Structure 1
């Protein structure tokens, strides 16, 4: 299975225009507000001796933090430009980075065989995946997790669209960060209530824990408050 040409072109175009600097993309908040906080959901379930795979790693901001908690750490992204940014930002090689299509079982199969049972971190990837690709992405998560790994999946809820719309409607119009999202046709998708759990279960995983959370963005409002998107977290694995 391959992702659509529109989807691939949109993401490649976005990352080609990006400098690779942390915080430039709308969602690229500091790990202290993202991965570090998110690991509180995963840690009670995960074996820290296993590797970690950051799926949809972008420029590697979260991957580099995850590499301080798990060894080895690998960041995976569809975009070659994103992977190039991630490698440049990690000259010491704390993590490794690979370009591959999460919906392609051939590409992901090689990664799974090499890593073995793996912990997975996937932040706001499913809602940006085309709906027809989501079962294949969930199947990749399940294959990476294997018998002993655990997956932490974080996805914005339907209310996130209203938050983004309100940010875009602020005086002066959408910020440069939001304009870049629109210009590259990165359409904010929506994962229906219950869809994430259903996808995980259909892939053979058990939802071990879930709850409400918020995804911190790098965007700040004029009053200095940070934009955060309502979200849910899920930890999944095999009992």
Structure 2
């Protein structure tokens, strides 16, 4: 027993209790702050700051389970809390979250262990991979670095956790999940740095890397192992101007080029990697003055003025992708749904031999149906994980496209238009997920693709964008809507769009 922090009476309680909503616990005897690991059956699944947990009326702390883990709390598990500072456990309890469901498993659809990461997403970390992950990760990182340095002649060094772990602990951080590089541009204006970022992306793609662009200054290379997504390598833009060092996504710090360059060698596991000339400057700018203290519950707290500058100079192109991946992953676990009413509506309005582009295909329910019916079908979506689950066949191919990125959207439109065939482009329940700029990119894409007699078939949910507004936006790109139909039961409007030459 111990008195609560509010000065109330001593309480008698189990050190840790939990249900599917919260964990309740008494503070450890020797501290009221610091990082805490949450263990399920002995495996770390999440970390939080002790001082961030609310103080309940009974004197115990209360912390809510993070969203990504709640759905996995089925069955029973030992819930334990462990201090990151000394590794000591101060409480544990056996919890039956739901009856008769076995032991809790926080894992992906392939049975691979997950944790809640610093972005509050479910992800994998080095500690839960097989032993060969470090070698695979560093081998691929070195391939990326070699292209940046040898082919493009850039100044490159490790950054983020890839710098922090070896400097502080002598090895990669177990709860990290990638390798981070920064390139330091010789340009001083953000627009020139952004142009350089696009050039780097093109070079990486030419070299065969699977590149995801998060912003003009943030590229991510994805790698597979045994046919499944395995790890990635991040590359961030950095530059100096007027006595300030900037680095995407969260650094603006007083420094000169000579403070960080030329790079110095750093031992990262079994190999040598380039590091900033003065690592302490980098680590304090990135993690704050407490960077020497391990903190798996760390969250970036970027000053508003820094965030405003970097987000305006390097706008993100990845917003919402993780949310779509989560939603579509859940749908996949529920099984593939039958083809929609939209599929039947489209079938009556396109030629039986027309090639089909399913734009915003999700898990590919409609795309599969058209491929099965004999259409050459291209399934296109923003969510990479959804596309990865669609089996490729001679009649069904997949493609990642971000409609918020005008460059790749126009390039995709030119590619399809170059085929000079009458495409049937399906756009089901996608319009309402786009803002004004995204819709403008969509209609520009359609105007390029439909110039050889094809048609776009759209389905828009109620309460989204008024149909008359959509028609006006589309009209600015030479698109005309016809065959508009209202489905009261599904609460959607369907329409056919074609391209009409101006004048």
Question: TM-score, normalised to structure 1's length?
Answer: 0.66
Aligned length: 183
Report the Cα offset of residue 83 of structure 1: 0.6
Contact 2:357/2:379, CA 8 A, preserved across alignment:
yes
- DSSP 3-state at the match of 1:86: coil
* Equivalence map 1:42-53=2 (5 Å): 42-43=349-350, 47-53=351-357
Aligned to 1:127: 432
Contact 1:22/1:61, CA 8 A, preserved across alignment:
no
Which of 327, 349, 352 pairs up with 1:14? 327
Which runs of 5 or more structure 1 residues have no equivalent in the other structure? 24-28, 159-189, 215-227
- DSSP 3-state at the match of 1:112: helix
Report the Cα offset of residue 140 of structure 1: 1.4
Report the Cα offset of residue 32 of structure 1: 5.6
1: CA distance, partners of 2:471 / 2:400 = 27
Distance 1:140 1:103, change over 3 A: farther
Q: Tell me which structure has the larger Cα radius of gyration.
A: 2
Distance 1:134 1:6, change over 3 A: same
Distance 1:49 1:105, change over 3 A: farther
Report the Cα offset of residue 97 of structure 1: 0.6
2: CA distance, partners of 1:22 / 1:203 = 39
Contact 2:324/2:383, CA 8 A, preserved across alignment:
yes
Matched, 1:108 2:108: no
Matched, 1:31 2:339: yes
2: CA distance, partners of 1:70 / 1:195 = 35
Contact 2:317/2:402, CA 8 A, preserved across alignment:
no
Report the Cα offset of residue 70 of structure 1: 5.5
Aligned to 1:168: none
Matched, 1:79 2:383: yes
2: CA distance, partners of 1:3 / 1:74 = 26
- DSSP 3-state at the match of 2:403: coil
Which runs of 5 or more structure 2 residues have no equivalent in the other structure? 1-214, 216-314
Contact 1:49/1:70, CA 8 A, preserved across alignment:
yes
- DSSP 3-state at the match of 1:67: helix
- DSSP 3-state at the match of 1:103: coil
Which region of structure 1 is more displaced relative to structure 2, 54-63 or 192-201? Answer: 192-201
2: CA distance, partners of 1:126 / 1:205 = 15
Task: Report 1 or 2 for greater relative contact order, CA contacts < 8 Å, sequence distance ≥ 6.
Answer: 1
Report the Cα offset of residue 16 of structure 1: 4.3
Distance 1:64 1:50, change over 3 A: same
2: CA distance, partners of 1:126 / 1:206 = 16
2: CA distance, partners of 1:113 / 1:70 = 25
Which of 61, 70, 75 pairs up with 2:365? 61
1: CA distance, partners of 2:319 / 2:386 = 17
Aligned to 1:237: 498
Residue by residue over 1:113-137, the C-alpha shift from the partner in whole angstroms, topping out at 9 and shown as x without a partner, is 4433421011110112233321111
* Equivalence map 1:125-204=2 (5 Å): 125-158=430-463, 190-204=464-478
Question: TM-score, normalised to structure 2's length?
Answer: 0.33
Contact 1:56/1:123, CA 8 A, preserved across alignment:
yes
Report the Cα offset of residue 55 of structure 1: 0.4
* Equivalence map 1:208-219=2 (5 Å): 208-214=482-488
- DSSP 3-state at the match of 1:144: helix
Distance 1:37 1:119, change over 3 A: closer
Between Structure 1 and Structure 2, the one with more helix by share is: 1
Report the Cα offset of residue 21 of structure 1: 5.4
2: CA distance, partners of 1:69 / 1:143 = 26
Between Structure 1 and Structure 2, the one with more strand by share is: 2
1: CA distance, partners of 2:340 / 2:493 = 18
1: CA distance, partners of 2:365 / 2:396 = 11
Contact 2:414/2:448, CA 8 A, preserved across alignment:
no
